[in-house]
Structure 1
């Protein structure tokens, strides 16, 4: 991509961020076409579908939280606390940020034996403009942002979002859509964790944390 030479550094940064969002926004318009239900339990639904060019299926998960919209958004902004609720996540370190709208985050995912733990680096951009009464936390992988470590297998490609949508004054819907590589060959039962069980458990974890009495 070629940029005009008369852009200031600040203007160029804004333009790059907007271009990044243009890459991610189409994921919010997939609708329900070709999605198949993979799991439905405890008020949480997980759908999957084939993702041409990707080694495992894409996923779409959603559930309701009995908590005001602003409270859920505030918690989702606590990027470094994602290890509290992202399924099997042991590390969620913010390694760079721009204001409160753009974050570079290093995640480590504990995967079951005999597979090796995975890690990934993603850019998260907060999008408040695509849809009324909704905030998207869009992510895309940046696999070369920091050096790899021998104890982890780096996930090279991932793209998707977490979405918080206001339903009414006391109820909020949270959803996630995404697709990724796995960092190498893994058994089918492990890949199913990535696309079905992990999104399900992540939403369940968020709900349990936010609906707990001590979170009031």
Structure 2
């Protein structure tokens, strides 16, 4: 999810970007704009890591978008720096628990992520929101705990909170991807913040390409 491929840039970021302290949640600031995608970042109270938000319009229906998100194994093909995804449990068609890793470059170790996701749809507007929350092992259903990797090789991210939101606008969808991740440990927040905008940018670029696959056109939105 978070890209830091260029080690030299990361080292320079220590000098160029002071580590954030316990600042109050700030206003959104435009960080990148490319190919119809806008990426914003902001400070979050109590965290040195900034939050990001990516937005775009796509010529697609909600079923295509949900079909891609439902395809756990496809995660590395489009979600930036996502590796080793594993669906641990489906509590229902709208609720699931997933394990994945955030690929960080040497000399930093990858981060484990345990994510609880929940789908909700607003009847009036048809907008769909998928909330994403980082959890601990003990918050997993029993059937999911048994599927976790047996050996703890990677540090667990200290916190994760975000969402996807798909809002119909005519024959198009307004897509919002918003996320705050506290990696914990090393690298320092300033290094992550220096390139955090790349995560939603490349994720949305890749999403726009993959939703055109036929298998996602055939996906049906979960119903209660």
TM-score range, shorter chain: 0.7 to 0.9
Look up the match of 2:141. none
- Mapped to 2, the partners of 1:64 and 1:212 lie a distance apart of 18
The residue that corresponds to 2:79 in the other structure is 86
CA distance in 2 between counterparts of 1:84 and 1:61 reads: 18
CA contact (8 A) 2:160 2:180 kept: yes
Q: Give the aligned partner of residue 56 of structure 1.
A: 49
After superposition, give the CA deviation of every residue in 1:98-141 in whole Å (9 maximum; x if it has no partner).
Answer: 12111010011111121111111010011113872211110111
Aligned pair count? 182
**Alignment partner, residue 101 of structure 1:** 94
Deviations 1:171-197 (A, max 9, x none): 22221112121121314333434x311
CA distance in 2 between partners of 1:163 and 1:68 (Å): 13
Among candidates 138, 141, 158, match of residue 134 of structure 2 = 141
For residues 48-97 of structure 1, the C-alpha deviation after alignment (integer angstroms, 9 at most, x for no partner) is: 11101122111111112222233223322334432321101112211011
User: 2-side partners of 1:215 and 1:162: how far apart?
Assistant: 17
8 Å CA contact 1:143, 1:156 repeated in 2: no
In the TM superposition, what are the counterparts of 1:16-165 in structure 2 within 5 Å? 34-129=27-122, 132-145=125-138, 146=145, 149-165=151-167
Q: 1:172 maps to what in 2? A: 173
Q: Which has the larger displacement, 66-75 or 101-110?
A: 66-75
Deviates more, 1:133-142 or 1:62-71: 62-71
- SS, match of residue 137 in structure 2: coil
2:49–2:192 CA contact under 8 A, matched in 1: no
Give the TM-score normalised by the residue count of structure 1. 0.75
Structure 2 regions of 5+ residues with no counterpart? 1-25, 139-144, 218-224
RMSD: 2.4
Deviation at 1:215, TM superposition (A): 6.7
User: Which one scores higher on RCO, CA 8 angstroms, separation ≥ 6?
Assistant: 2
Secondary structure of 1:116 counterpart: coil
Q: Return 203-212 or 51-60, whichever deviates more.
A: 203-212
In the superposition, the TM-score normalised over structure 2's length comes to: 0.72
Secondary structure at the counterpart of residue 59 of structure 1? strand
Gapped runs of 5+ residues in structure 1? 1-32
